[in-house]
């Protein structure tokens, strides 16, 4: 995307923006533009929540944890004094394992019974849910949704001193439990976060889009009058 953008004969300053995970991409593109010597007047993030931080598991940690669990179970079994107690322990273990397998099978059947959603825009959270469903049922997801899923999982935010206008919905604010949608610690520049009407997928529809357009026009006007950020 950045290479395509640099092919456009534009001297700057740049006004970059994006919706949902596109806002995250816009943030990264704006940072690369600064690194290449361009100037960025404004970054607009439209209802773009900070991607959930997925912990990076060290190689082999799951195997060590599984082995540790088995050792503890063996120690507990050997501590039992009589053959009757040991038999009762093994029966309880078998019953619990059977219940887990039954619950897992029920979840698999429920996911397999869902109809595949129509092609279109999807939030990263929806792409993650779909990816889990498709992985369990053996189907393949579209290349676009897979790319969004992988990018969402691998994303690690960095700091930025850009001028940012954040237009958020109450739906995303509630889900993130944060008025900055999780970006507060990472945006060190001038951050203006404003609540707009509608929800994540309806903010571009009437009558909400009129308010959104007004807020965008106001932000662009103010940014045009202010000095742009440059590297």
- Crossing angle of helices 143-154 and 21-35, rounded to 10°: 70
Give, in words, the CATH class of 2-50+157-230: alpha beta
Q: What's the pLDDT score for residue 63? A: 53
> Domain locations in the chain?
2-50+157-230, 61-112, 116-154
For residue range 114-133, list pLDDT tens digits in order: 544 444 445 555 555 555 44
DSSP-assigned states of every residue in 99-163: HHHHHHHHHHHHHHTSPPPPSS---HHHHHHHHHHHHHHT----HHHHHHHHHHHH-----B---
Q: What's the pLDDT score for residue 141? A: 60
Mean pLDDT calculated for residue range 72-94: 83
**Among candidate residues 158, 165, 169, the one with its CA nearest the CA of residue 123:** 169
Mean pLDDT calculated for residue range 37-55: 86
Q: Taking the model in full, what pTM does it have?
A: 0.62
- pLDDT bin (cut points 50, 70, 90) of residue 152 is confident
């Amino acid at each position: 995307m950045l290479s395509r953008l640099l092919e456009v004969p534009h001297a700057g300053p740049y006004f970059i923006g994006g919706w949902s995970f596109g806002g995250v991409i816009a943030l990264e593109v704006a940072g690369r533009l600064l690194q290449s010597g361009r100037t960025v007047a404004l970054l607009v993030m439209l209802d773009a929540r900070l991607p959930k931080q997925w912990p990076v598991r060290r190689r082999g940690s799951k195997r060590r944890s599984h082995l540790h669990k088995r050792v503890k179970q063996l120690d507990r079994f050997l501590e039992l004094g009589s053959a009757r107690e040991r038999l009762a322990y093994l029966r309880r273990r078998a019953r619990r394992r059977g219940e887990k397998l039954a619950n897992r099978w029920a979840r698999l059947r429920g996911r397999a019974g869902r109809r595949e959603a129509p092609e279109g825009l999807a939030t990263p959270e929806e792409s993650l849910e779909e990816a889990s469903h498709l992985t369990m049922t053996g189907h393949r997801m579209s290349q676009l949704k897979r790319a969004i899923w992988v990018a969402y999982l691998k994303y690690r935010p960095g700091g930025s001193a850009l001028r940012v206008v954040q237009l958020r919905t109450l739906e995303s604010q509630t889900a993130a439990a944060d008025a900055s949608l999780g970006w507060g610690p990472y945006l060190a520049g001038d951050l203006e976060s404003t609540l707009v009407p509608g929800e994540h997928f309806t903010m571009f529809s009437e009558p909400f889009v009129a308010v959104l357009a007004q807020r965008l026009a106001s932000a662009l006007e103010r940014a045009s009058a202010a000095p742009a950020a440059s590297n």
